[in-house]
Amino acid sequence: MKHLIFNQFIIAWLLLAIVPAAAQPLSATDAVALINELPAPPATLAEAFQQAYPNNAARPDAKPHYMPWFDKIEKAGLENQQLQMQFYQKNPMGVRPVAQPVSRVTPQQQSSMNAATSELAQKMLTDPAFAQKFSKMSEQEQHAYIAGLLAEKGLKPVNGTPNVNTAPIPGTDVEWATLCSEYMQTATDVSRWEKQTALQQQYENKHQEVRDWAEAAIKKLPMYSFGEYGHDHDPEQVKAVQKEALSRHRDIAAAMWLELRLMLQAFRQEATQRVTPLNDALKQVGFGARYDFGIHYTTVLSAQSMMIQEAHALLSNEIAMIQEVAHWEYEWRNFK
């Protein structure tokens, strides 16, 4: 028992816990800034057309106009993916091993400790009076005696704290699990898109009314004989109806864009509100540059990935809507 006490004292005397905080970096991407930096949606249908059909292209493609922002978003997403991959390469089970204290004991100190341990044990075995006296000592008195014995061997205590890790558990100073869970739950709620779908259906119904009108108007046109080619409506009158139909489609698209533009801006504001609590917490810890998330690291990485994807989804959806309304401007301008 005394041998055990002696060893424990030596360890406390000579060892220090050297367990530096392990940095667990994230992509240093401010998700709120990422959303706020997105370019404003086109103000008018004509602007939407210019973005969707640059240089009067034959097919809509508004993405090139937004490539600087897509590049920034995709860079952040790639950084996040690489960090996740690096973590799982080091920790295939998804759990980081608990860091162990590192000993400062040199081989010479270890040899001296072994000699001191052997000397004390031998004395207690061969000197019953000393063994009895030592056993009656208080813990402080035993420590003082052992300190003297160590000093004779040239061992001195190091400055610092014994190897007892009193640091708080990493990642427990912030409610990461709650912040991530609350964000991810709201981010995966797709009900917000129902408003856009309803608006699209509302205006699609109006476009269908124009199609029905044009079909009925053409049927009312007088028929003309084209000899061996048969009978048909006057091409010029048909063309006039079609042109009028396209003008109406264009007006509907312009009206839709006015409503849709406000909705898209509201989507951005809602996204900003969703990401702000977690994003602010990440900024407070420098996106993990010198911070240990502990067991929450993979959860935080996943949540950040979702925040980056949200910015990508916002911009992708806006481009799809721009191209949808710009189609009617293109058809109207290119009618012959």
Compare 113 and 269 and report the one with higher pLDDT.
269
DSSP assignment of 251-320 equals HHHHHHHHHHHHHHHHHHHHHHHHHHHHHHHHHHTGGGTT---GGGHHHHHHHHHHHHHHHHHHHHHHHH
Three-state secondary-structure class, residue 209: helix
Q: In the predicted model, what is the mean pLDDT of the chain?
A: 85
What's the angle, vertex CA 25, arms to CA 71 and CA 312, rounded to 5?
Answer: 25
Domain ranges of the chain: 2-14+101-152, 31-99+169-333
Residue 247: how many other CB atoms lie within 10 Å: 14
Q: Are strands 223-225 and 231-233 parallel, antiparallel or unpaired?
A: antiparallel
Spatial separation of the C-alpha atoms in residues 141 and 296, rounded to whole Å: 45
Check residue 194 and give its pLDDT: 95
Average pLDDT rounded to a whole number, residues 299-309? 96
Spatial separation of the C-alpha atoms in residues 66 and 17, rounded to whole Å: 52
pLDDT (tens digit per residue) in 120-177: 777 767 777 776 787 778 878 877 777 777 777 776 655 555 555 556 788 889 999 9
Q: What is the dihedral of CA 26, 31, 37, 39, to 10 degrees?
A: 110
Per DSSP, what are the bridge partners of residue 224? Answer: 232
pLDDT (tens digit per residue) in 209-218: 999 999 999 9
Residue type, 327: H
Three-state secondary-structure class, residue 232: strand
pLDDT of residue 18 exceeding 90: no
Helix (H) or strand (E) holding 231: strand 231-233
Question: What residues contact residue 108 under an 8 Å CB cut-off, 6+ apart?
Answer: none
pTM of the model: 0.73
